[in-house]
Amino acid sequence: MIEVSNRASDAFENEGKRAYRARHLEVLRDQAPELWTDDPPGRLRGAWLELMGSTGWRTLKLLTGANVLSPSSFVGADLDHDRIDDYRRRYPDARWLTGDVLDHVESPELHDVSVIHFDGYEAAGSTKFDHVGEQLGVILRRAVARHGAAALLVNSDLDATRLHGQQPPAALRRQAMTLAAVLAGASTARREVTPETLLPAGAETAVGSRGFVGLLGAFEVYRGKNTGHRMACCRVVLR
């Protein structure tokens, strides 16, 4: 049975977020055949990196429940030490990292990561992504070399951009430009990643309408709660 929490009080534990997590698997199955094993069938190659918060265990349950991953191939990270200590007690077979994961890209826990779910809720288009991208690029390059492919799932807060004096369309375009720069450095020449491959030219105007949710290129714009900010998740497979 699907558990549905109170949308009014929890931004991450609700039906919208559950559907969002499930779509990661749909996209990976559809777009990244290299990342799935034949023997045993239906298992993900490599490890999954997740920013945890209080609800990242739901991703762990989704992956292990669907037999896509064993717990030992799940790496959970969070800035909050107590939170990670608690997770370590609850799920001792998974791998756990405390502190800024961007400072740990060379750590052994991350050596075989093939999927990064970077779900930090930064504002879309934030300059923070410049640094995030540089560091995640290290993991992605390693994954492409090791597994032949890598997937990056980056979630950002689309409507928070207004608080930073930027309108959602401009923020989404900037997000596409930043991610394309990171990804271009991490993929091989076989597939060029440009801002337009992530977000077709002009597509960003759609998010100027506050009611818009849906797919725009590699971005999914969704609402995690009935009322509240829209999120923009970019899902990209690199080769």
Ligand X SMILES: C[S@@+](CC[C@H](N)C(=O)[O-])C[C@H]1O[C@@H](n2cnc3c(N)ncnc32)[C@H](O)[C@@H]1O
Cβ proximity of 222 and 231 under 8 Å: yes
Is residue 235 part of the contact set for ligand X (CB under 6 A)? no
Look-up of token digits 């800024």: 100
**58 makes contact with ligand X (CB under 6 A):** yes
Decide whether 114 or 155 has the Cβ nearer to ligand X. Answer: 155
Does position 157 interact with ligand X (CB under 6 A)? The reply is no
Tell me if 50 contacts ligand X by CB under 6 A.
Answer: yes
Q: Does residue 55 bind ligand X (CB under 6 A)? A: yes
Q: Is 95 in the site for ligand X (CB under 6 A)?
A: no
Among 16, 46, 56, 137, binds ligand X (CB under 6 A): 56
Q: Is 41 helix (H, G, I), strand (E, B) or coil?
A: coil
* CA–CA distance, 97 with 120 (Å, rounded to integer): 15
Interacting positions 63-92 with ligand X (CB under 6 A): 77-80
158 binds ligand X (CB under 6 A): no
Residue 65: CB minimum distance to ligand X, A: 14
Interatomic CA distance for residues 230 and 232, integer angstroms: 7
CB of 27 to ligand X, least distance (A): 15
Cα 221 → chain centroid: 13
Number of H helices, E strands in the chain: 6, 10
Shortest CB 53 distance to ligand X, Å: 3
15 Cβ contact partners less than 8 Å away, ≥ 6 residues apart: 2, 4, 7
Q: Which of 51, 63, 113, 207 binds ligand X (CB under 6 A)?
A: 51
Q: Which amino acid is at 213?
A: V
- List the one residue from 25, 102, 170, 206 that touches ligand X (CB under 6 A): 102
Least Å distance, CB 199 to ligand X, is: 22
Task: State yes or no: cis peptide before 92, omega within 30 of 0.
Answer: no
User: Minimal CA–CA distance to 59: which of 91, 103, 102?
Assistant: 91
* CA–CA gap between residue 224 and residue 9 (Å, rounded): 12
Interface with ligand X (CB under 6 A), residue from 26, 85, 93, 100: 100
The least distance separating ligand X from the CB of residue 224, rounded to whole angstroms, comes to: 9
In the complex, which residues of this chain contact ligand X (CB under 6 A)? Answer: 12, 21, 50-53, 55-56, 58-59, 77-80, 100-102, 119-121
